[in-house]
Amino acid sequence: MKKQNVAVLGATGAVGEEILNMLVERAFPLGELRLLASPRSAGQKKVVDGKEYVIEAVSEDSFENIDIAFFCAGGSVSEKYAKHAVKAGAVVIDNTSAFRLKPDIPLVVPEVNGEDILKHQGIIANPNCSTTIMAVALAPIHKKAQIKRVVVSTYQAVSGAGFAGMQELEQQVRDYVADKPMEANVLPVASGEKHYPIAFNAIPQIDVFEEGDYTKEEWKMIKETQKIFNEPLRITATTVRLPIMRSHCESINVETELPLSPEECKELLRQAPGIEVLDEVAEQQYPMPIFTSGKDPVYVGRIRKDFSVKNGINLWVVGDQIRKGAALNAIQIAEFLTQNLG
Ligand code: A2P
């Protein structure tokens, strides 16, 4: 397979670091590797696969000779630099929300709509982490029994807010135990005016409030899922931040047109790509973040009938949002490109 020259923009961040780890772990055919971040990190050194790289401050000229550029430094950085990367001939796999809902930019979960990758015109968008995890679990159910309506509530990890979110939870726990006041500067929205501690708390706000008093994260789950499935699926969402380090959890209620028993649903999900069913209630087996963190699959458990409607199923879905929710999905897109475009 032809080696690809790769740039990672946001190489010092939570997602960027995971992309670097996973490129090595999955034996991606790496040619040149360029690590890009803000001027704050320029000159720092980072070892990838035993080789030392110097982090460069991103500029308009950073993408010469690059085949694939992973962007994970935030929406405004993507908006500023993606066009320069595309102009230089790179394919941008963008982890931010900058381009996800643009009609001519594919938004891809390879297990669901991998074929859309080939429609790209230089940029491919990686969906929101909660959306990706839900889409993987819903796709086989939709194919078999046609989804009528989805009600999802999330229980999201602090790593969704990057390293800063993880550091803040850890510090708050230390302060609490030491009987010191907890300081909050990052959650729910780093740039916002009001912050709440996440330790020993649940914050029903992820990102800013938008239309209908839904948060941006809730709208992402609705609109991005509709785009990935290429159908106006009826979805409503409530997204909540919990003091979990890694792995988002989702309680998903699915109403289908056709009947689907819990046993059929379990079998269907067992056969589906990217999913691991963990559902032995007699043995108290179900997915939990402490076991799923750092792992690739989307885990599904607590699969049971919703007795309140004619055709309904309840699911408990857990996935490491830095892996499948971000880095792994992005690398799967890159692998598909490499295999299909030579
Ligand atoms: P830096 O470490 O130099 O600030 P996280 O999501 O974990 O907070 O990481 C964000 C990533 O995006 C980091 O690698 C960060 O680099 C990078 N980043 C943030 N702002 C910029 C910017 N204006 N230009 C380039 N990279 C940026």
- Read off the pLDDT of residues 55-80 as tens digits, 9 standing for 90 and up: 999 999 999 999 999 999 999 999 99
Active site residue ranges: 129, 248
State in Å: Cα 188 to ligand 1 middle. 19
Q: Give the model's confidence band at 342: pLDDT under 50 very low, under 70 low, under 90 confident, else very high.
A: low
Instruction: Indicate if the pLDDT at residue 341 is higher than 70.
Output: no
12-25: average pLDDT: 97
Nearest alpha carbon, ligand 1 atom 22 = 38
Q: pTM of the predicted model, to two decimals?
A: 0.96
Q: Where are the alpha helices (DSSP H) in the chain?
A: 14-25, 75-87, 110-113, 129-145, 162-177, 216-229, 262-271, 289-292, 328-341
Across the chain, what does the average pLDDT equal? 97
Looking at residue 128, what DSSP letter applies?
P
Spelled out in words, what is the top-level CATH class assigned to the domain 4-128+326-341?
alpha beta
Which residues have any ligand 1 atom within 6 Å of their CB?
10-14, 16, 37-38, 40-41, 58, 73-74, 77, 162-164
Nearest alpha carbon, ligand 1 atom 19 = 73
State in Å: Cα 153 to ligand 1 middle. 29
Q: Note the pLDDT of residue 340.
A: 84
Q: Note the pLDDT of residue 1.
A: 76
What are the residue boundaries of the structural domains of the chain, listed by start?
4-128+326-341, 131-321
199-214: average pLDDT: 98
Q: For residue 39, give the ligand 1 atom closest to its CA.
A: 3
CA angle 296, 23, 109 (to 5 degrees): 50
Q: Note the pLDDT of residue 100.
A: 98
Q: Note the pLDDT of residue 261.
A: 98
- The answer to whether the beta carbons of residues 341 and 1 sit under 8 Å apart is no
pLDDT in tens, 147-182: 999 999 999 999 999 999 999 999 999 999 999 999
81-91: average pLDDT: 98
Fold of 131-321: Dihydrodipicolinate Reductase; domain 2 (3.30.360)
